[in-house]
């Protein structure tokens, strides 16, 4: 697949993915969703980067929502299919074996907030705004917003934001636990890269198992504790563990190979 709405670059071994529908405030249309799906299910598996920063073009928006024009005239069945596709794509991001950080530069509303929440971490510029305004249109979030928002900020506050459609500013998002860091506008990618470079010095297999194990906590079909036991066993059988333990004893920096 050719990327039309995503631009992929590399900096210091980190992948930078920019959604480039700036005139539409980077709204998630069908083409963009298909490209995100391809990125995190096929292309990304082969992309030789240690982690990914996901951001939006311009200074106004990370992603200001889904492309509402595509919703008009949609049947209930069509709406369910669209929501399921969104769930599948955002689960692929959430389960991606390398760390993914959303660099939120401006509005992250509706599908944009849901996209940011599907990433493993979020770095927000001080001008960022978050919200799920779907009830203003007479609908509800369809890409996981009613579920992930609760995970990050708790049921009571999530209920309030989902039902009032209120936006919150970056400092409040930080206070609530929705974002990991707030930085001056324009420094979002730099901070995300700083975190990813630190993670890149750790064992890649262990990082992937961390992602799997943490996600298992929120998956009712899995026993998170059992997942941790199995994942721990899998990591102790790797060359990375031998290297990491040996480097610790020898008081040197480990040289992990990812196996």
Instruction: Give the residue carrying structure tokens 């906590």.
Output: 217
Convert the pLDDT of each residue in 172-189 to its tens digit.
999 999 999 999 999 999
pLDDT(256) > 90:
yes
Confirm whether 255 is domain-assigned: no
pLDDT(71) > 90:
no
The predicted model gives 90-114 an average pLDDT of 98
Give, in order, the Cα–Cα distances in Å from 216 to each of 10, 107, 202, 206, 223: 30, 30, 21, 15, 7
Residue 162: the pLDDT is: 98
The predicted model gives 230-240 an average pLDDT of 94
Same domain, 129 and 223: no
The predicted model gives 225-253 an average pLDDT of 94
The predicted model gives 222-242 an average pLDDT of 95
Confirm whether 1 is domain-assigned: no
- Tell me the C-alpha distance between 118 and 14, whole Å: 19
Same domain, 244 and 146: no
Q: What is the pTM of this model?
A: 0.96
Give the count of domains, the chain.
2
Same domain, 91 and 215: no
**Three-class DSSP category at 70:** helix
- Tell me the C-alpha distance between 131 and 142, whole Å: 14
Share of the chain above pLDDT 90, in %: 93
Q: Between residues 233 and 71, which one has the greater pLDDT? A: 233
Which run of H or of E encompasses 237?
none
- Tell me the C-alpha distance between 95 and 203, whole Å: 17
* Residue 68: exposure state from Cβ atoms within 10 A (0-12, 13-18, ≥19): middle
Catalytic residues: 114, 134
Confirm whether 257 is domain-assigned: no
pLDDT(155) > 90:
yes
Confirm whether 140 is domain-assigned: yes
Q: How much is the mean pLDDT over the chain?
A: 96
The predicted model gives 235-239 an average pLDDT of 93
Same domain, 14 and 33: yes
Same domain, 110 and 73: yes
Convert the pLDDT of each residue in 156-170 to its tens digit.
999 999 999 999 999
Confirm whether 256 is domain-assigned: no
Range of 241's domain? Answer: 204-249
Residue 97: the pLDDT is: 97
Confirm whether 126 is domain-assigned: yes
């Amino acid at each position: 697949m050719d990327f039309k709405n995503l631009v992929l670059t590399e900096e210091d071994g980190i992948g930078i993915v920019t959604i480039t529908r700036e005139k539409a405030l980077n709204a998630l249309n069908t083409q963009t969703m298909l490209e995100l799906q391809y990125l995190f299910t096929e292309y990304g598996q082969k992309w030789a980067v240690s982690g990914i920063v996901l951001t939006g073009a311009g200074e106004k928006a990370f992603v200001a929502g889904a492309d509402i024009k595509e919703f008009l005239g949609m049947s209930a069945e069509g709406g369910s299919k669209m929501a399921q596709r969104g769930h599948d794509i955002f689960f692929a991001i959430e389960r991606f074996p390398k760390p993914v950080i959303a660099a939120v530069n401006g509005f992250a509303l509706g599908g944009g907030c849901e996209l940011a929440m599907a990433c493993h971490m979020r770095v927000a510029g001080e001008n960022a705004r978050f919200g799920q305004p779907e009830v203003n249109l007479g609908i509800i979030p369809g890409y996981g917003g009613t579920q992930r928002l609760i995970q990050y900020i708790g049921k009571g506050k999530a209920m309030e934001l989902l039902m009032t459609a209120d936006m919150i500013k970056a400092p409040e998002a930080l206070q609530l636990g929705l974002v990991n860091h707030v930085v001056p506008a324009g420094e979002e990618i730099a901070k995300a890269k700083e975190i990813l470079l630190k993670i890149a010095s750790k064992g890649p297999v262990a990082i992937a198992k961390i992602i799997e194990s943490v996600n298992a906590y929120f998956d009712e079909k899995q026993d998170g504790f059992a997942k941790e036991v199995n994942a721990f066993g899998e990591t102790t059988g790797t060359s990375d563990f031998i290297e990491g333990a040996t480097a610790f004893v020898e008081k040197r920096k480990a040289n992990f190979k990812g196996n």
